[in-house]
């Protein structure tokens, strides 16, 4: 089946044989044996051309899905078998890297020191797809995933903040209306991204009827804060960045809020994932108490 799927993509026996590391004659015998077992042709071939039959086209799609499911199941079974000495992949937004994520990892690794944690910060990739494809095990996100095979739980809400340098004219007393920022230079995450926060930023600027003068775009919150501290512009970031050790900047709460969700597969048998969710819920309650509205 795997050989056939490669051949169905290449439609060339010689190129396929190189890709699967076998001789062309051996590959031909494998495909012929598969067709004999099925009782019908998958390929129409002559000395020059190879093309799929209608039955071959159908099985190409179905077998690819089937083998992908098998590979995902085997990967997850391996993680479950490894238990506390295995690997857990976590997707997260950069804004929780100042407090929530380090605290979660500190607590969890103290309990399970042999567990390896793989951290992924997706940009335009959807957490839903990453979870369903078993590329990640848990996703922290600013919006909940909407899929019957996935679970999602809100951990806390926090304000979105205007971030300015300490010597900037804006402060809690002088800031009155977002429209007054029209002539300011902004340092922002790329507004072209499809992430939840980029969508929120676009909505804010649309609401107040102006395009930001964006001289620098970056998705790295720590870099944004350093640039703001050096007087290169102002920014908009989640409240969570206040928990980091950043100096030379001032945060001003806006009316908008963002949420933090934890998302996971409903029927996952890995007990390690359940423990991380429990720790996340407990930590979410602590974070709520630190947020000053």
- Distance between CA atoms of residues 246 and 220, nearest Å: 14
pLDDT tens digits, one per residue of 73-92: 776 666 666 555 578 899 99
Topology of the domain comprising 85-155+260-290: D-Maltodextrin-Binding Protein; domain 2 (3.40.190)
Segment 270-281 shows an average pLDDT of 89
Topology of the domain comprising 159-256: D-Maltodextrin-Binding Protein; domain 2 (3.40.190)
- Distance between CA atoms of residues 132 and 264, nearest Å: 9
Instruction: Judge if 2-81 and 159-256 fold alike in CATH terms.
Output: no
pLDDT tens digits, one per residue of 125-167: 688 988 988 889 999 999 988 899 999 999 999 999 999 999 9
Topology of the domain comprising 2-81: Arc Repressor Mutant, subunit A (1.10.10)
pLDDT tens digits, one per residue of 24-51: 888 888 888 888 888 999 888 876 678 8
Q: What percent of the chain has pLDDT over 70?
A: 95
Mean predicted lDDT score pLDDT of the chain: 87
Each domain of the chain, given as residue ranges in start order, spans: 2-81, 85-155+260-290, 159-256
**Of the candidates 273, 238, 257, which has an alpha carbon nearest to the alpha carbon of residue 151?**
273
The pLDDT assigned to 80 comes to 61
Strand intervals (E) in the chain: 43-45, 50-52, 87-91, 116-120, 138-141, 150-165, 185-188, 213-217, 235-238, 249-265
- Flag the least confident range among 36-50, 89-103, 243-257: 36-50
């Amino acid at each position: 089946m795997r050989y056939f799927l490669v051949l169905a993509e290449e439609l060339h026996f010689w190129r396929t044989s190189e890709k699967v590391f076998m001789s062309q004659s051996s590959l031909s015998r494998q495909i012929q044996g598969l067709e004999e077992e099925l009782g019908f042709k998958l390929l129409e071939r002559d000395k020059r051309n190879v093309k799929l039959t209608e039955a071959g086209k159908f099985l190409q799609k179905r077998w690819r899905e089937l083998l992908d499911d098998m590979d995902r199941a085997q990967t997850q079974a391996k993680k479950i078998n490894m238990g506390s000495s295995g690997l857990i992949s976590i997707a997260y937004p950069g804004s929780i890297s100042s407090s929530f994520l380090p605290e979660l990892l500190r607590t969890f690794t103290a309990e399970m020191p042999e567990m390896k944690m793989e951290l992924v910060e997706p940009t335009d990739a959807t957490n839903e797809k990453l979870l369903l494809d078993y590329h990640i095990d848990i996703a922290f996100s600013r919006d909940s995933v909407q899929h019957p095979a996935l679970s999602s739980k809100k951990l806390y809400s926090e304000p979105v903040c205007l971030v300015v340098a300490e010597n900037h004219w804006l402060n809690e007393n002088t800031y009155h209306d977002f429209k007054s920022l029209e002539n300011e230079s902004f340092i922002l995450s790329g507004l072209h991204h499809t992430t939840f926060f980029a969508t929120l930023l676009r909505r804010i600027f649309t609401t107040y009827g102006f395009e930001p003068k964006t001289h620098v775009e970056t998705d790295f919150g720590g870099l944004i804060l350093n640039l703001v501290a050096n007087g290169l512009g102002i920014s908009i970031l989640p409240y969570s960045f206040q928990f980091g050790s950043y100096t030379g900047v001032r945060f001003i709460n806006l009316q908008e809020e963002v949420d933090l969700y934890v998302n996971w597969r409903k029927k996952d048998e890995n007990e390690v994932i359940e423990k991380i969710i429990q720790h996340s819920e407990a930590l979410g309650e602590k974070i709520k108490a630190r947020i000053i509205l």
